[in-house]
Structure 1
């Protein structure tokens, strides 16, 4: 069987890397919508159209389950995808609930990094309203960070300067957790750990997403069919071989080691 992972760009590779750790015997197909990345600064209507077109292309490759490895795309399109397709579909949301629960005893606040579009969507407001009964969650749009990641800009000096500028209005002593609410952002976890006060924990939704994926595979009766070789095929909406190489490089960076891959344009 093949599990499909979808994102606008390379961000979802951070979720795929977690899936390799938890479900190493599966085969994977990863698609990036390179014609339209980034999603976080576009309209809701446009993003939904982009997502549906991309997933239709993935279905043509014969995927057996789908992870929408993008918080913005999940908020906009995951319910429609579940009505369109009979395969398991897993979405993502910023890890606000676990962050609030983890911080409950500390008296500290929670700071959520996310794309502008994610922060504007009703689903995000509903999530925060549901779990944040003490009003401790603050949100910070990071519109430039996706583009930095897509450009493989990981120079610590440059990125530390960027984060310091974005965080300058905040008293970090007030915060106990930073939530990485976009799948591109975990690429900067090490940089953030090196510059944030040591008492601040950094969380994302990747592990929880893969746990839900594993549970759904079991529920659909396909969890035991883990007879793949743990390889990944790449495809992208732009059909650009150079971007395929970029995805391979990014996955190796976030996994910390090389993997066997095949290309699908």
Structure 2
């Protein structure tokens, strides 16, 4: 594992950029390569076999770019494929799981909400996590349609507002005090969600925890980039780069459309 080789990340589109941003903030000297597999989004509607195949394809592309560590910046790919990836490839993997633990540990009402994709909520890994907290009521909601709207750049559309109100209403009625965002696309919806849920409800996503874990794994492997200059950030999408460019507008990044 070389110090200057890049951290690789992949997601079923642009959502994992929320994870990339947290890693970039914590580890600004690291070089990064991000694959936005928007052509195949959303993974959450695909079969486990399809998700594993897509995850392997993305991993092999990143390994060919000499990635020293791979962040599976997608909840659905993590919950359905990370066991297979760790078996098949000799590189450290960091996965993204819905942050149920902090919500279930700190809830006062003993009721929390989880908004996630179908692929995550139906996965064995997710259900094993939920089963650990029998004394907490967990209201699960599949976010049908949300990823497609985000990928299309329709974050603030009336359709998005209507879907979020529909999905969050039962959670509000049940008196949740924590909302877990179980998809890396969903942090981009926080401004809209905040307008719908009560002020006291805390929203949790996985970005900062994943960034800390990335730093920890690189430190253990003596692979942190010691070069003091700002790391290079390369983004590849196999669809239009328009929405990706808009989301990354505040960052120095090279964004290319590429078939992979």
Q: Same fold (TM over 0.5)?
A: yes
TM-score after normalising by structure 1: 0.89
Partner residue in 1 for 2:124: 122
Alignment of 1:189-208 (within 5 A): 189-208=190-209
Closer, same or farther: CA 102–135 of 1 in aligned 2, 3 Å: closer
> How many residues are paired up?
254
Provide structure 1 residue ranges, at least 5 long, that are not aligned to the other structure: none
Partner residue in 2 for 1:98: 102
Cα distance in 2, alignment partners of residues 228 and 45 from structure 1: 41
Q: Does 1:263 align with 2:260?
A: no
CA shift, 1:34, in A, is 2.5
1:130-189 residue CA offsets vs partner (Å, 9 max, x unmatched) = 2x1303211100021111110111216543322112233344461101100000000001
Alignment of 1:55-70 (within 5 A): 55-70=59-74
Q: Is the 8 A contact 2:104 2:136 kept in 1?
A: no
Cα distance in 2, alignment partners of residues 210 and 51 from structure 1: 20
Q: Is the 8 A contact 2:168 2:197 kept in 1?
A: no
Q: Is the 8 A contact 1:4 1:63 kept in 2?
A: yes
Closer, same or farther: CA 173–46 of 1 in aligned 2, 3 Å: closer
Partner residue in 2 for 1:149: 150
Give the root-mean-square deviation of aligned CA atoms.
Answer: 1.8
Q: Does 1:112 align with 2:114?
A: yes
Closer, same or farther: CA 228–3 of 1 in aligned 2, 3 Å: farther
Cα distance in 1, alignment partners of residues 25 and 67 from structure 2: 20
Q: Does 1:248 align with 2:245?
A: yes
1:14-65 residue CA offsets vs partner (Å, 9 max, x unmatched) = 1001111111111110002233111001111111111101211111111111
CA shift, 1:263, in A, is 3.1
CA shift, 1:264, in A, is 6.7
Partner residue in 2 for 1:217: 218
Q: Is the 8 A contact 2:177 2:200 kept in 1?
A: yes
CA shift, 1:107, in A, is 2.3
Partner residue in 2 for 1:135: 136
Report SS of the residue matched to 2:39.
Answer: coil
Report SS of the residue matched to 1:235.
Answer: strand
Provide structure 2 residue ranges, at least 5 long, that are not aligned to the other structure: none
Partner residue in 2 for 1:179: 180
Cα distance in 1, alignment partners of residues 27 and 130 from structure 2: 30
Cα distance in 2, alignment partners of residues 46 and 9 from structure 1: 15
Q: Is the 8 A contact 2:111 2:174 kept in 1?
A: no
CA shift, 1:228, in A, is 5.3
Deviates more, 1:116-125 or 1:79-88: 79-88
